[in-house]
Structure 1
């Protein structure tokens, strides 16, 4: 009898050890999926913010040269307007058919096409943005963006309503993410010198919905305004809540204002440090 009891006890211990091991492995796998989904969201934010920076950069160049085309560098910035009217204008940022390296070291090809009704700093001005075979570091970008100048807020900063419809990023491995978003962009620094781009700073609020490249649905909501500096490659501060599959809540934190590549991803008591790239 003693032998049987010992045998049964050993079998139970083995079973629970095996079950516990399986449960741990399942939890680790689930956590890794959440990390991957969170990283995907950060990559998407970086790419869409990079596009905004490109458009602002081109706009500042044109403000400084009287809206003349720039054809001696990459990208080419081509200015057109109908019937010799000053506005509206069509601006094409053309990176060419092969990749060229831009100001933050990113490789880009294809075109960004911008329809503008007035200079960016004019309240009521409107930008409509589309893409033609446009890639950043082998990520294909599709969709339609708009930017409307909503005028000055109580802090005397210009505010812009930024929307994205039909957003899609196809990653180098062929998987794709989708996005619909509406944000407010508050121009907090640099407005006094609109022809100099590098001192510009923006605060972003709002949110996005869509699917990540792993097929998981998400809703992201900015809970603390995200600070974007033109001189930095990535957002430098602010937090965002990321709800995946309407079930898992993660928090993305872009830092304390330093111009670095580090963000943190939090899920419950778990915290991961992510290097943006």
Structure 2
């Protein structure tokens, strides 16, 4: 009887372990399947990731242009001479936004608030609403100065952006360069699909250094971004060929971005279709270039 009891115990243990193992395998399979990405899904995720990345980049452009014009109005001038007209910024965002500077003089720190109201269509054709708040520790062209950008119910082309953008001046030995970081970023599309977003990029000026005019500036951008969909899919963006952003152009005009989604790798060519000319198109390719889709940038 004792032997039978022991055997029953052993059998029960094996049944328990077998059941646990089977459940574990099913759970792992379920988790794996939940993050399996089809080719069509990968293309859609890449499209939306490019839009998310471009939307945050647009905020960089708006913030940097405002900060540059503040810099021009502040450096080497007396307090009473501080009269930025933000003409270059207006050339992009239009006249419908309200721009408020506090403190409204040449001293720092200061805050620049750009209020787009409920709906503001810029001269760049982009629809914005809500507020972008810029906090400057010093003139943006001064080494060590930091520009911090936050959002108040901000949307661009119906895409909702949240988080904090930090732009730091790293100028040295005559080179004009910045780091651009997004922390705690979140992107929500009109469909309701949500993404978390973080990035770290280097931005180096390659044209317009010898003038006080903002419009002739151009920058070379390198770095990465990481996007996580609310279903757990992780999307990694890596700049392979430096992106070129001219202030006079509303979009990135050249460069290549690698997009990795699980084991799928896609490429986004910003030089398409006119070899670096200014337009809002980029070419997404995958399957060694055999599959492609034209992406319209916001």
Same fold (TM over 0.5): yes
Equivalences, count: 243
1:75, distance to aligned residue in structure 2 (A): 1.6
Kindly indicate whether residue 143 of structure 2 is the aligned counterpart of residue 123 of structure 1.
yes
Q: Secondary structure at the match of 2:171?
A: strand
User: In 2, Cα distance between the equivalents of 1:213 and 1:43?
Assistant: 17
Q: Where do 5+ consecutive residues of structure 1 fail to align?
A: 1-28
Structure 1 residues 120 and 191: alpha-carbon distance in aligned structure 2, compared to 1, 3 A threshold: farther
Alignment-derived partner of residue 286 in structure 2: 267
Kindly indicate whether residue 111 of structure 2 is the aligned counterpart of residue 90 of structure 1.
yes
**Aligned residues of 1:41 and 1:212 also touching (Cα < 8 A):** no
Structure 1 residues 119 and 103: alpha-carbon distance in aligned structure 2, compared to 1, 3 A threshold: farther
Task: Tell me which of 245, 250, 266 is aligned to 1:250.
Answer: 266
Alignment-derived partner of residue 114 in structure 1: 134
User: In 2, Cα distance between the equivalents of 1:51 and 1:58?
Assistant: 11
Q: Please tell me the root mean square deviation across aligned C-alpha atoms, in Å.
A: 2.4
Kindly indicate whether residue 203 of structure 2 is the aligned counterpart of residue 179 of structure 1.
no
Farther off after superposition, 157-166 or 212-221: 212-221
**Aligned residues of 2:71 and 2:141 also touching (Cα < 8 A):** no
Q: Normalized against structure 1, the TM-score is what? A: 0.80
- CA deviations on 1:60-89 (whole Å, 9 max, x unpaired) are 34345455476994322111139x781111
Alignment-derived partner of residue 80 in structure 1: 102
User: In 2, Cα distance between the equivalents of 1:85 and 1:54?
Assistant: 20
**Aligned residues of 2:162 and 2:187 also touching (Cα < 8 A):** yes
Alignment-derived partner of residue 172 in structure 2: 152
User: In 2, Cα distance between the equivalents of 1:125 and 1:39?
Assistant: 34
Q: Where do 5+ consecutive residues of structure 2 fail to align?
A: 1-36, 75-81
Kindly indicate whether residue 62 of structure 2 is the aligned counterpart of residue 54 of structure 1.
yes
1:211, distance to aligned residue in structure 2 (A): 1.5
